[in-house]
Structures are given as structure tokens and as C-alpha cells.
Structure 1
């Protein structure tokens, strides 16, 4: 878990007195009630306890009839922006975060996410793709300008970064790039600063970075212009810095369920049998933190991809690490992904 169980949580079979001790220690005025499987089953506040005692409950009684079971929460896929808006609209100061199995994984505090310190670190957005798999939608507009909800994907990306204090953006353009530049201009209308790189030929997912390499004096973030995600970009950057990585790749967990028994063999002999196994992988999430010192490996005026940069970094003894994206993430590469994103935007990003 990302925070102390002892400090904020209490078992569902605990007594009122034990709940009072936890609440007294954490200074939040309440506690999270979890069962033996670490599933969140309720919340209890000092007000709940006070009302129970007024009804002549003993402090040695179980909290079973005292804690609140219809509690408010967000899931790990919700963006922090939505979590903040959710807390403000419900007039609450903290909200628990649960995963798909209802297990408690985090606790968001309003004071921690109400505002973020402004950052000088650049965000480099790759927005020059042809969007071939999204035709006919991309015949008149570039893929990053397709609307999700009521805004272009690219605007949603910029808003997400701005929420975490990022203000400096460089957008790499190619296919119908003038539409993007006409819409965002210098970024002032969106409260940010935007510069543009115009590729005269395809340079791959990293090649255009070489055109402005002198600008990078701090770690910077690179993101594909068709990624919709609720990732905590400040945590992502801090994770990179804390672990002394030279490049960090945001990754998603990907599972493949094999519906058959799998035989592990050596020539003609069976060594073992796995019945309907599940294989887990980390897949590239299309978002990276890059240190300035490895930008030198990016080939100028040549096709060069982010995967090439990762390999060059590793081959030259630079540290390449990962950051697991647990929040919402969608690569909008095909029509069905685009449709799903338009459904998800209201669930995970807006009230």
C-alpha cells in the first residue's frame, strides 16, 4: 500500500475504542474500515462514534453497527483532477482509492492535490502522426485534434499536465500540423507556453527531439499525442528523479489468458503442465521521462525512435527504469479505442 495501514485503517471487527485510538493518531477525524482481505467496506468518523455513544453504545462494542457502509470513493483509474473535483463537490477533505477488486490502495487528501508547484521541466508532445488507422476521421484533421468529450485529445493532454504544474510545452508537428498551431497558437489562451517543431520529413518518435536538444537542461517528459491518461505526472517525474534513472518508461500491465493447458517440453519430453495459465507483461505506455545527458544519442535528420533511445541508453550503461501506470490509460490508435475514450472521459475525468 502507498500509506500506513496502521495510521489510517482499522479492521471491520474492531471495537469503538480501537477506532478512537486510530482516529486520534491520524488526526484526520476518521478511519477506513477494511476486512481481512484488505477490501474497503466502510468509513468511520469521530462523529459516528459520538452518535453511537449518545445512543448508549459502549466503547467496547464492535464498530459493525457504527461505521458507514455507503461510503464515497474513487478507483485507481480516476484522474487526480476528477478526485479533486469529486472532493470539492462533496465537501470532503479526503477520499479512499480502491482497485477493481475493491482493495484499498491509496488515500487522496484534498490539501495535497489542490494545487501543484509550477515546474520548468518541458513536456515534449509527439503530434505528427498520420492517424492512418483512424481514417476516415483523420482525413481532415490530425489525430491529436479528434475530440474526446468536447475537447481535442491534445487539449486534454495539456490540461492534465497543467494540473500538475507543467507550463512549458514543445509540440512536434507534421501531418496537418497547421490545424494544431492555429488552435493552440502560443498557448497563452490555455495558460501555458507552447513552442512548435515542424518536421519536414518523418523522423520517428524521437528524431524531432534532436532539433531542440539545447533547450533541455532538466529531465523532460515525452508523450505520444494520442494518449489519454490520468497519470500523476508529478509522481512520475519524482519517481524518475528519486531512482536516479536516465530514462523512465511509463508501462501498463498486460495479461494474456491462455484457455488451454500449456505443456512445457524439452524435445519430446514433457517437463511440466500449466492449466490455463495467465502470462503478464509490461507494455510501453507511450510516455517517458528523459534526462538531458542521453539526448546526445538521438540521430539528427534520421528516423530515430524512443525504443532506439532506450537501447542506446542501456548499451552505454545509462539506467533505464519503469513506472507502472495504475491510473486510466488509453492509446487512441483505432476507431474502437476512440469510441471507448469518448465513453470513459465522463467516467474517469469529469464529474
Structure 2
């Protein structure tokens, strides 16, 4: 959760006594030290104050004297999922958020946001498709098991969810589904629990949900098994619950560039021309959050897709929502997209290997 910092912002020359009084009066247990143009220059926690008191520091000395002058901070464009991972990795509660010029934009408080593990939200992954557009790669391998760098697409997805606190998975399988089941088993090797929804016929992204158990936990997330994203899944769950929606669809901006002048006219009368415009649309991102009302509308034993579910729910006056995602998103649907994802993951793996090698040398 991003919180305001007005009551804990101080200049470098603020006396320790005043800064400590501010900390004691504020629910935000960190002091942010800024220069005159709001550039972040340091942070001070209650631990820093305790150590200063034990050392016998003069309480009229400046707060910058005890500040951490190289605090962990993140850019304002960093996605929330990565931010939460950094909170866990660094074992800190607060992380300042800065802009391109190092100016403070806010603080992320990792302790106040409800987590998926608190909600026990299950994940349904759709992995039963034929992968026709990726033939011949999918002739003897289901698309979710195609490799990206060192592991299959579906493994990247499961690990991303797991690292955000999700533990319960249902995987819908059909085409070459036994290979997916053999690879992941019960999920024990990944620290998760996996059950399988075995489609005897192709049921679509909605129809497969009829195979879920009667004791299904609500709400639950549904995601196509060929997507790679850095989104914070807790965000859509929280928005879904707050809106009281039966179903929430993730949408993403998609821009279409027209390489010609677009002519506007009425009848035979010319009005205007817009040269090579770019139009912005919102597309279905293949990620959903569903409640009990949505699941109860799934027909049994027939092909049924998710857009149809939203149409049916809307026609029956069930509230449906959208969640606009702005994090990275890759839909691996054709050879060009697969190769693009391959290149991105190879580059990421090489960068991580070089970083590890550099740390070993430094050690």
C-alpha cells in the first residue's frame, strides 16, 4: 500500500529531538530525510534513534548524522508484484518511492496490504489448448511445457504465483495433459498443492470450471496457461472483493497504429483527415477473478468460454468489473511471440548469471 509521508518528512538539519517526536506521533515508523527540492537523502528508523540514544548522541544534533544515507528505494514505475518481492527479500517494512530525479513520491508499506495467503485464494490455470499456431513445436509437447530459458512456461507462471503467496492450484488439462501431470505431479517440489481438471472433451476457458470441486474456495483466480506477467495478483483480488463483483476481467491497453490518413466525412461531404493516428483499445488479458455467482452460471459438460460467461452474468444483472493492468504481459500465442519471450528470458538469465558471477568475485 502506498502511503503519504507529509508527517514524517524532515530536512537534513532537523534536530534529532524533533525528528524523534515526529516519529513517536506518527503511525508511519520511519523518518524520510529530504533536501530542499524533495530529493531523498536518507531514512531514519526507531532502531537508529535507539542506537543514537545508547551512544549518548546530543539530541540537538542533526538527523542526517544518524540517517541511512543509502536507503533501499524504488522507482515509481516499478510494478507492485516486484515491489512486494523486494519487501520480502530485504526484510523491510517501508520502501521510499522516487521519480526519475530521485524526488520522493511516497512510501510503500508492505505490512498493511491484505495478502493472497490471508485470503487463501485458489488459482485455476487453463492448460488444455491444442497450441495449433505453434505447430510443429506443439506436435509432441503441450504449449504450457514449451521452455522459456531454464523452465517451461507453466512453471514460470506457478513460481510467480507462489512467490506472491498463492499455494493452491487447479490445472485444466486436455491435449497431452498427461505430460503436464507427469511434470508437476502434486506440486510438492514447488511448495504448492496441485489438482487437475481433466477435460474428456474441449470445454473452453469457462466450461472447464464446471470440473472444480464443490468445496471450492471463493473468490478464485483464473488465468490462461500461456501468459507471462509481472502483475500483482493481490490487486485484482482486492478490487474484485471491494467492488462486490461476480466476475472481474483483467484488461490491458492495446494501441493500433493506422499507417494512412483516416478520412472523416458525412454523406459525400469531406470533414477532416487525421494523419496516421494511433488508437488505444482495452483488450481481454486472459486473467479473471470469479465469485460463487459466476461459478453457478457455468453450464455442465459443454464448450463455454469466458467472454460468454461475462455476457451471461451481465444479462442476469450480476455485477461484473474490469481491472486495468499496466504491468508487463506476454501472450505466447504464435511463433513470433514465443521467440520474443525466449529472447527476453535468455537475456534475463544471462544478466542474472553475470550478476551472480560478479558477486562471487567481489566476495
Identify the TM-score tier after normalising by the shorter chain: 0.7 to 0.9
Could you tell me the TM-score, scaled by structure 2's length?
0.73
Equivalent residue, structure 1, for 2:82: 79
DSSP 3-state at the match of 1:318: coil
Structure-2 separation of matches of 1:179 and 1:317: 41
Equivalent residue, structure 1, for 2:230: 230
Asked if structure 2 preserves the Cα contact closer than 8 Å seen for 1:35 and 1:41, the reply is: yes
Structure-2 separation of matches of 1:314 and 1:101: 46
Against the structure 1 CA distance between its residues 227 and 106, is the aligned structure 2 distance closer, same or farther, given a 3 Å change threshold? farther
Structure-2 separation of matches of 1:337 and 1:99: 29
Asked if structure 2 preserves the Cα contact closer than 8 Å seen for 1:157 and 1:227, the reply is: yes
Equivalent residue, structure 2, for 1:264: 264
Asked if structure 2 preserves the Cα contact closer than 8 Å seen for 1:42 and 1:71, the reply is: no
DSSP 3-state at the match of 2:121: strand
Structure-1 separation of matches of 2:210 and 2:255: 35
Structure-1 separation of matches of 2:223 and 2:166: 13
Greater displacement, 205-214 / 130-139: 130-139
Q: Which has the higher contact order (CA 8 A, sep 6+)?
A: 1
Asked if structure 2 preserves the Cα contact closer than 8 Å seen for 1:123 and 1:222, the reply is: yes
Structure-2 separation of matches of 1:289 and 1:208: 15
Equivalent residue, structure 2, for 1:145: 145
| 2:345 is aligned with 1:342 | yes
Structure-2 separation of matches of 1:82 and 1:267: 57
| 2:178 is aligned with 1:178 | yes
DSSP 3-state at the match of 1:289: strand
Equivalent residue, structure 1, for 2:360: none
How far 1:67 sits from its partner (Å)?
A: 11
How far 1:31 sits from its partner (Å)?
A: 3.0
Equivalent residue, structure 1, for 2:316: 316
Against the structure 1 CA distance between its residues 198 and 259, is the aligned structure 2 distance closer, same or farther, given a 3 Å change threshold? same
Structure-2 separation of matches of 1:255 and 1:299: 35
Could you tell me the TM-score, scaled by structure 1's length?
0.75
Deviations 1:187-229 (A, max 9, x none): 2232222111111221111111112263435211111011112
| 2:129 is aligned with 1:135 | no
Against the structure 1 CA distance between its residues 138 and 311, is the aligned structure 2 distance closer, same or farther, given a 3 Å change threshold? same
Equivalent residue, structure 2, for 1:31: 32
How far 1:15 sits from its partner (Å)?
A: 8.3
Deviations 1:231-259 (A, max 9, x none): 22222211101111110011112223446
Alignment of 1:1-351 (within 5 A): 2-4=2-4, 6=6, 24=23, 25=26, 27-31=28-32, 42-46=40-44, 72-74=73-75, 75-77=77-79, 79-80=82-83, 82-84=85-87, 87=90, 93-97=93-97, 107-111=107-111, 117-212=117-212, 214-258=214-258, 262-271=262-271, 274=274, 277-333=277-333, 334-343=337-346
Structure-2 separation of matches of 1:99 and 1:172: 42
How far 1:130 sits from its partner (Å)?
A: 1.8
The number of aligned residues is: 333
How far 1:106 sits from its partner (Å)?
A: 6.2
How far 1:271 sits from its partner (Å)?
A: 4.5
Deviations 1:52-84 (A, max 9, x none): xx9xx999xxx9xx9979974254346245423
Q: Larger C-alpha radius of gyration, 1 or 2?
A: 2
Asked if structure 2 preserves the Cα contact closer than 8 Å seen for 1:262 and 1:276, the reply is: yes
Structure-2 separation of matches of 1:270 and 1:100: 45
Structure-1 separation of matches of 2:102 and 2:36: 11
Asked if structure 2 preserves the Cα contact closer than 8 Å seen for 1:80 and 1:113, the reply is: no
Structure 1's unaligned 5+ residue stretches are none
